[in-house]
Structure 1
Amino acid sequence: MGLVNLAMANWRHKLWSSFQGVSYSTTSSRINKSKFDDFRKIRPMILRRIENRGKEYPIKDIVSVAEEILKARHNLITNVTALLKVFPVLTCKFCSEVFVGKEGHLIQTCRSYIRRGNNRLHEWVPGSVNDILVPVESFHLDHMSQGVIKHQQRFDYDRVPAVLELCCQAGAIHPEEILQYSEVHDNPQVSDEDIKNLPVGDLQYVGANALNAWERVRAGLKKLLLVYPSKVCKRCNEVHVGPSGHKARLCGVFKYESWRGTHYWEKAGVNDLVPEKVVWHRRPQDPVVLVDEGRSYYGHAPAIVSLCSHAGAIVPTKYACEMKPQGLSFPFTSSILSCET
């Protein structure tokens, strides 16, 4: 009798559990259906608000800020192009390392996946403006309230500099003229003879103008990003200027990224649109060639700041912490250089 009672108890428990599951599933399905009905009713109102949101832009009070950014950006590219005619810039053949100087450093920081090794010496080649001012591009939108770009539509939209796209949405550039604007203002014509014959005082003036333009661009972008939304992927640094990121499955080049996956969007900052390319900065007290043993003594600086300081421009004090202008230098000896070479 004990076994029979136990079997009956188990059967009643299973039966009661099944009834509970049915009632729970039925209740949850009813709740989901009611939520879906409510969403279907308010969906037209949501779409109407999204369409009307684009009518509030551009904001007239912010147009002058965007125009100031465009002027400062043009001056920045022109002055940097002029400085590169006098001061050489080197970039590594296998990685993104940049150095401002005639001879590259001997610091073993090359970690390119092509060479399949860590902490190797760099192989230096001549650099360009894009090594100092890192280009960041984004999709060009006709208007802010247009639909989200799908993966199949990624070739239907042009790619333009993210700063120009932000200024375009702010009302400083007409959407149909942004491609022509980029071709004209991003490739300034600077003759070699005029720059090489400039005296030292004029070169210092060019460097100061470039550094001033750099600061004005970053200050203006900080204001625009408070008004106009921009997104950046936290894995691959893809930038999208608009209220919501696109759906092009382009995230995934390196191992730590999800291959051909969707982007993980978050709010973009100034460094996402205008990256600070941090490089090793050679100070007057440092040796002619920076060696690996003194890497803890040397300073760092954004590439544009290092280039302007070589031209004689006065660097703002906010960069002094990483540049270490008054810091001690590595006790360099000739035996170290002979071992490295």
Structure 2
Amino acid sequence: MASRSMVTKALVVTWPSHKVEVTRLSAPLEEPGVCRWRSMAVMLGIAIVSPPSKCLFVHPPVSYYSDRTPPATPFLLRPSNPSFSSSSFPISVARRFDASPKTVSGSRSSQPRPHPDANRELYHLSDKKMYKRHKQNIDLPAILPKNKKKPYPIPIQKMQRAARRDKRLAEMGIEKPLEPPKNGLLVPELIPVAYEVLDHWKVLIKGLSQLMNVVTVYGCSKCPEVHVGPVGHQIQDCRGTGSEQRRSYHSWVKGSINDVLIPIESYHLFDPFGRRIKHETRFDYDRIPAVVELCIQAGVDFPEYPSRRRTSPIRMLGKKVIDRGGYVEEPKPHLSENCMSLLAELDTYGAQFEQPPLSASDTRRLAERTLKAYSSVRRGVRQLMKKYSVKACGYCSEVHVGPWGHNAKLCGAFKHQWRDGKHGWQDAILDEVIPQNYVWHLRDPHGPPLQTALRRYYGKAPAVVEVCVQAGAEIPESYKPMMRLDIIIPDTEEARLVA
């Protein structure tokens, strides 16, 4: 804090559990520079020796405030050492460091002993890290406005740099370096992941179809709102047709599995690097769940939906494909009863709801298995999307699995007239391939319905998680903060008294 020419003498005083080093400055109190040092010392929480009152103003260590409210003013201590006088110490600045309480003033030869409060600051920092990993309450993802384009998952500056680099290589006549699967070849280590994702996808659809017989799901006939519970909630947040006449109450009807697991479909391509889908040829391609199409392109073989497996990589010069191995005609699909039954297991539209009744223990095990399958599907799809290209429209919910999006003019979102109905393709994120349809969390399914006045005390969870939890599954740790389980829901009369 002070220059070397100002420091003339030093001594040591003792705080209850810390040792304080006091350095004397050979400068009068009235100088502006010394006043500045004194104010800085007060802000930093260090000791000040003031000659007019012959008292030692000491700010306690930081660990002193870890479990109590800090005082508004520094502590005032009367020094017992007669050496503290106005003549010998015009002004002094003290610097704190941890030491044993038994350290003699002015002596530094003894070894300090560890104190219980010495590492409290480190514990406090570790608590902050634990809080970041396991937060108490978190907010849901913000609802994106429909009159704006979605944000890019990859920064636009990074994409522009990559485009300029590819353009420079193309101008020099150098081919673009490609690695699997960007060059059309499979990634061998991701083939087992694709099969595992598909197996868990079947378990998820089958488990939800059986749990729908135990847990009731409602959907609003006028808006996309979904509620899981024996009766629909009474929260007035409907913005659908005729909501003014209903005072924003929802018009509940019996829901289906598509309300819980929102179906996101994509065009199936025999050759993702082949001809692009045009608006006139869009009916020549089948639409299947995007998760299934991603698994097929990652190495899963289906007789019903064949896919081209290249043995030699494609070659690109900038954005132009100079060698794709020629065009290959798509073979006719092989139809059989096994294929049809397998396709019914992979699509939510073919889920069977007529299931025999299950006991309470069987229902609980089924809910836990379904919830585990849901987490495994999301984890596997996230791993596949790191390598395989998946595109999503920046304005609507359309998803396309492949290196380039299709040219079908089916986008009716914001300013689609300016784009002639074409989609604004960009890189997709996980929640666009497997949307998490958030619903209100119901702590007591047999309790009173949720009210509008208490909506800020309620938490939310994905519909799949809420169905499994109400069926008896244990709440996962990652979803507890958004459910707000630690908040006590007051009565309607008590909520009016809350500030």
Please, what TM-score do these two structures have when normalized by structure 2? Answer: 0.53
Q: What displacement does 1:291 show?
A: 1.0
Distance 1:39 1:318 in 2: 46
Q: Secondary structure at the match of 1:138?
A: strand
Question: Which sits farther off after the overlay, 167-176 or 61-70?
Answer: 167-176
Q: Which residue of 2 aligns with 1:115?
A: 242
* 1:226 has 2:226 as partner: no
The amino acid across from 1:279 in the alignment is V
Q: Aligned in 2, Cα 1:174/1:238: closer, same or farther, shift over 3 Å?
A: same
**Aligned 1:1-341 pairs, distance under 5 A:** 56-112=184-240, 114-115=241-242, 117=244, 120-174=248-302, 176-177=304-305, 180=340, 181-186=342-347, 187-189=350-352, 191-192=354-355, 194=356, 196=357, 198-253=358-413, 256-259=414-417, 260-284=420-444, 287-332=447-492
Distance 2:251 2:445 in 1: 25
Q: What displacement does 1:54 show?
A: 7.2
Question: Which sits farther off after the overlay, 262-271 or 120-129?
Answer: 262-271
Q: Aligned in 2, Cα 1:141/1:261: closer, same or farther, shift over 3 Å?
A: same
**Contact map agreement 1:57 1:170 (CA 8 A) in 2:** no
Distance 2:434 2:278 in 1: 26
Q: What displacement does 1:111 show?
A: 1.1
User: Which runs of 5 or more residues in structure 1 are unaligned?
Assistant: 1-37, 337-341
Distance 1:312 1:116 in 2: 35
Q: What displacement does 1:324 show?
A: 0.8
Q: Secondary structure at the match of 2:479?
A: helix
**Identity between Structure 1 and Structure 2 (%):** 37
User: Which runs of 5 or more residues in structure 2 are unaligned?
Assistant: 1-168, 307-338
**Contact map agreement 2:181 2:187 (CA 8 A) in 1:** no
Q: What displacement does 1:227 show?
A: 1.1
**Contact map agreement 2:212 2:353 (CA 8 A) in 1:** no
Q: Aligned in 2, Cα 1:57/1:330: closer, same or farther, shift over 3 Å?
A: farther
Q: Which residue of 1 aligns with 2:316?
A: none
Q: What displacement does 1:284 show?
A: 3.0
Q: Deviations over 1:79-115 (max 9, x none)?
A: 1111111111100011111111111001111112x33
Q: Deviations over 1:201-234 (max 9, x none)?
A: 2111111011000000000001100111000011
Greater RCO between the two (CA within 8 Å, min separation 6)?
1
Question: Which sits farther off after the overlay, 161-170 or 118-127?
Answer: 118-127
Q: Secondary structure at the match of 1:81?
A: helix
**Contact map agreement 1:107 1:290 (CA 8 A) in 2:** yes
Q: Aligned in 2, Cα 1:42/1:156: closer, same or farther, shift over 3 Å?
A: farther
The amino acid across from 1:203 in the alignment is T
The amino acid across from 1:101 in the alignment is G
* Structure having the larger proportion of residues in strand: 2
* Structure having the larger proportion of residues in helix: 1
**Contact map agreement 1:287 1:332 (CA 8 A) in 2:** no
Question: Which sits farther off after the overlay, 283-292 or 217-226?
Answer: 283-292
Distance 1:265 1:175 in 2: 30
Distance 1:130 1:295 in 2: 26
Distance 1:205 1:109 in 2: 35
**Contact map agreement 1:72 1:217 (CA 8 A) in 2:** yes
Distance 2:260 2:208 in 1: 8
**Contact map agreement 2:181 2:388 (CA 8 A) in 1:** no
**Which entry has the higher C-alpha Rg, 1 or 2?**
2
Question: Which sits farther off after the overlay, 138-147 or 284-293?
Answer: 284-293
Q: Deviations over 1:223-253 (max 9, x none)?
A: 1001110000111021000001111111114
Q: What displacement does 1:270 show?
A: 1.4
Q: Secondary structure at the match of 1:182?
A: helix
**Contact map agreement 2:344 2:351 (CA 8 A) in 1:** no
Question: Which sits farther off after the overlay, 167-176 or 270-279?
Answer: 167-176
**Contact map agreement 2:453 2:492 (CA 8 A) in 1:** no
Distance 2:351 2:253 in 1: 23
Question: Which sits farther off after the overlay, 87-96 or 173-182?
Answer: 173-182
Q: Aligned in 2, Cα 1:288/1:148: closer, same or farther, shift over 3 Å?
A: same
**Contact map agreement 2:184 2:273 (CA 8 A) in 1:** no
